[in-house]
Structure 1
Amino acid sequence: MTTGVRKSNAAKAGPDRVDGRRERGRSSYRRIVEAMMELIVEGDLSPSAARVAEEAGIGLRTVFRHFDDMDALYAEITRTITERVMPTVLAPYPDQPWRANIGELVRRRVEVFETTLPFRLAANIKRYQSPFLMGQYSRVVMLERELIVRLLPASVRTDRIGVEALCAALSFHTWRTLRHDQSLSPDEAGAVMGQMVDAVMATIVEGA
């Protein structure tokens, strides 16, 4: 009788132990990602796995139990940041003249670039040693260009130099230079980017 009770209790406890392990695993996973992101935001643009483990308060083995390598961790951070900014990036534009929509794009770029700045700086350090980060860099650059060009009417797209100048003014490279290299505040950098874009638009010849 006693043996049967013990077996019954063990059977009931089994799923609880499994669920407990899963929850601990999910908790560790979240702590690793959050620790990595926090370190990057704080200025450690190339944190080691050991540093991430220390920040997360877990063992180094746990980091590599969840992530095969640092690329896998960067991939998860990329997914997290993408989910955060894509609603802004892909929000529809009003039915208004293209110049007004480019002005709206400037506002969105300032918001998105400022949110992603530390993570893109960190990725830039590693991308020449990481096929994943290099591929991600190329995809993002192409998407950012496409989002500009699709706002332009056909008569504007014929001005190739004007379009290229607009893409350069609205690029992350420009934002990084203003914020990181020239140490401008977000508001100052946004004002400079807006002025650059206005200057370029003033030179664009429609139907050239």
Structure 2
Amino acid sequence: MTTSNSKISPESDGRRQRTERSRTAIIEASLSLLEEGILVPTAQQISDRAGVGIRTFFRHFEDMNTLFEAVDDSIRSHYEMLILTGDRNGTLEERIDHAVDRHAAVYEQIANIILSAAAQRWRYDVLRKNYARSQRGLRKDLDNLLPEIKDLPQSTREAIDAIASFEMWNRLREHQGQSKRSTISIVSSLLKTLIIQ
């Protein structure tokens, strides 16, 4: 005979589903605010956008650090796939173009998320770790796509990473007013100058 303890009651299952919906709503609200350019959203702003009370927010996330970790978990596979997909064949010149195109796709989609992390990295350990992991991932991807750069002098390699970085991309796009197409052209040209001997 099955005891009632081994079954999940409809009431309990409904509670669990509501809990999961609230948690998802909070994560999606955080992303929505960031995408709109609110780079340092408060727990209250996020709760309001998610349509939940502030107490519900803190039942799901004990602090902003745990929220940022959940947000990163929810989007990481998407932006990592953007980097890793695309054509990895061709001449060195073609592969440089492919690398810049892939980075551009990521930078354009998650620019405000990166800027938010940069603005708050000093405060939250999870953001520092996520940023460091992303930098290692981008460097590794360049190594895989452009193995020729491993044989270049260290100072040249560091310059390559700087040129391929989000910081360079953001400066050209936001501070110097370049279009996406123009920025891709500038970054590709600089990388080719350094890499193609």
- Please say whether Structure 1 and Structure 2 have the same fold, judged by a TM-score greater than 0.5: yes
> Who is 1:6 aligned against?
none
Aligned pair in 2 of structure 1 residues 156, 141: CA closer, same or farther (>3 Å)?
closer
- In the TM superposition, residue 179 of structure 1 has moved relative to its aligned partner by 2.3
Q: C-alpha distance in 2, partners of 1:74/1:21?
A: 24
Distance 2:120 2:15 in 1: 33
Task: Report the counterpart of residue 85 of structure 2 in structure 1.
Answer: 91
Gaps (5+ residues) in structure 2?
none
1:114 aligned onto 2:98: no
> Does structure 2 retain, via aligned residues, the 8 Å contact 1:99–1:201?
no
The answer to whether the 8 Å contact 1:149/1:157 transfers is: no
**Which of structures 1 and 2 has the bigger CA Rg?**
1
Cα 1:83–1:155 change in 2 (3 A) is closer
Structure 1 residue 158, shift from structure 2 partner: 3.3
Q: Look up the match of 1:187.
A: 181
Q: Percent identity?
A: 28
Cα contact 2:143–2:150 (8 A) shared by 1: no
RMSD: 2.3
Across the two proteins, how many residue pairs are aligned to each other?
192
Counterpart residue identity of residue 105, structure 1: A
Q: 2:144 aligns with which of 106, 131, 150?
A: 150
Does residue 1:49 correspond to 2:8, yes or no? no
Determine the structure 1 residue equivalent to 2:194.
200
Q: Does 1:73 align with 2:67?
A: yes
Mapping for residues 139-178 of structure 1, pairs under 5 Å? 139-153=133-147, 157-178=151-172
Is 1:24 paired with 2:15? no
Alpha-carbon shift at residue 16 of structure 1 (Å)? 1.3
- TM-score normalised over the length of structure 2: 0.87
Whether contact under 8 Å (2:143, 2:149) holds in the other structure is: no
